[in-house]
Structure 1
Amino acid sequence: MRGFGGLVATTAAAAVVLTGPGAPRAQAADRDVPDLALVVTNGTARTVALKSGQRDFARLWQLLSPTHSDSEQVPEAWQEGHLPRVRVTVLWGMTGIGGWPYTQRAPGGDVAMERVDQVFEASDGAVWVRTDPAPDVEDDDIRWHRASQTVFDELDRDGLLGARATTAAKPDEGLSDGVRWAVTGLAGGLALGVGGSLLIRRAAARREPGPPREPRQELIDL
């Protein structure tokens, strides 16, 4: 994805994003595993924050498999940008990182957003997840995998995935466009919920899964 980088959202109090017991847990300080999901539904910029230990976080994890790194073949038209509308965009984050000197927070007071998943429904009803594992890097490393229809239907019934789109996306209206409004929702959610600022972390280019190298930081006030 182009230009929205690994995002670090700084919070006024680290307790806002502390993990709880239960479903996939992650300690961002020592494991590169998400423990926070920011869910933005179909073009609305409405953001819902889910944390490790919550039931919906566990169900979203089951649907999207945010540690999945392989890719499956998709229709050629999709590769050319002729995609269905995005149902939901999820920015996966890790809490308990960052802080001084990159922000004014105490060490471990930031949240890093470094993976973006988007959910699509194919014309045959199949559910696909499109992943940018390094949104800060300008490359073609976009990965696809099928998701569980059963889990998707359950989340859809509960309203977590937003409204179904009635029209197809325009060519080239892909991941970068979706994350543009997703980041708007992320910023709005932080401003309304905890305040703070957005720290965009740009990492050295990489194509293989793994932690970014040589991070650079740019602070943007909200």
Structure 2
Amino acid sequence: MVPAGGGGARASARAAVEEPDVAVVVTAGEERTEAWHDGQTPFDRLRWLLNPTYTGSERVPQTWAQGRYPPARFTVLWGLTGVGGWPQTDRAPGGDVAMLRQDQLVVAEDGTPWVRTDPAPDLPDDDIRWHRAPRDAYAQLADAGFLGLGAERPGARGDGRGDGVWWAAAGLAAGVAGTVLAGRVAARRRAGPPRQEPRHELIDL
């Protein structure tokens, strides 16, 4: 049965383990962007399929490790809201969003669903991990047409960019990061501790 909304037990589980509570999704081909939050049905389905708290990695074909993997069906940027606060950041507590990881769903030729994970999408490193997604979850969500999984995906094999979706997600992440950065700069004037240094004004002559 495809999971519906969230339950009360999830709140206590999230308190014990830091889990993402927002998912920004870019769908392959359409490059449509959507955002879902913890407790919404699409978010729960994504979590069931991708398991965003999994930190291990499984071996994949060498060609996949070199970037030639099947086209990504969709890309998810997982985030955690309500972070921040002094002294870690310059914003008031609860004002920041941390982008925790990026997941892509790909499907092998034998029909096995795989999750390609970048555990730190904001860092320029080569730490890429893979794990199998549960077949029962994939089958049920494909039957339900979730994010177009039941439809045939045309196009060539991936070339390391996730069939164009990786670049869309990277741009989206840059936009999110820029928004957060701009918010931090503005918050220094609004919510930060009082500054003691003298203020200066620029006067046109």
State the distance in 1 between where 2:50 and 2:153 align. 20
CA distance in 1, matches of 2:59, 2:97: 32
Aligned-residue identity in percent: 48
* Residue number in structure 1 paired with 2:168: 181
What TM-score does the superposition give when structure 1 sets the normalisation length?
A: 0.65
SS of equivalent residue, structure 2 residue 36: strand
Give aligned pairs, total: 176
* Superposition deviation, residue 99 in structure 1: 6.3
Answer yes or no: is 1:166 the counterpart of 2:154.
Answer: yes
Relative to the length of structure 2, the TM-score reads 0.70
**Alpha carbons 2:97, 2:180 under 8 Å: kept:** no
Match of 1:152 among 119, 123, 138: 138
More displaced stretch, 163-172 vs 81-90 = 163-172
Counterpart pick for 2:117 among 131, 152, 175: 131
The answer for unaligned runs of 5 or more in structure 1 is 1-19, 191-195, 201-216
CA distance in 2, matches of 1:43, 1:99: 39
| Structure 1 residues 172 and 97, CA gap change in structure 2 (3 angstroms) | same
* 1:66 and 2:47 aligned: no
Q: 115-124 or 40-49, which moves further after superposition?
A: 40-49
Unaligned runs of 5+ in 2: 1-5, 187-205
Alignment of 1:141 with 2:127, yes or no, is yes
- For the aligned residues, what is the CA RMSD? 3.4
Query: In the alignment, what sits opposite 2:64?
Result: 78
How many angstroms does 1:180 deviate by? 2.3
Change (3 A) 1:22 1:119: farther
Q: 1-side partners of 2:41 and 2:155: how far apart?
A: 31
Greater Rg by CA:
2
C-alpha deviations, 1:157-197, integer Å up to 9, x for none?
3333335421233433249x533212555789x8xxxxx96
Alpha-carbon separation, structure 1, partners of 2:76 and 2:185: 22
Residue matched to 1:203 = none
* Cα deviation, residue 22, structure 1: 4.3
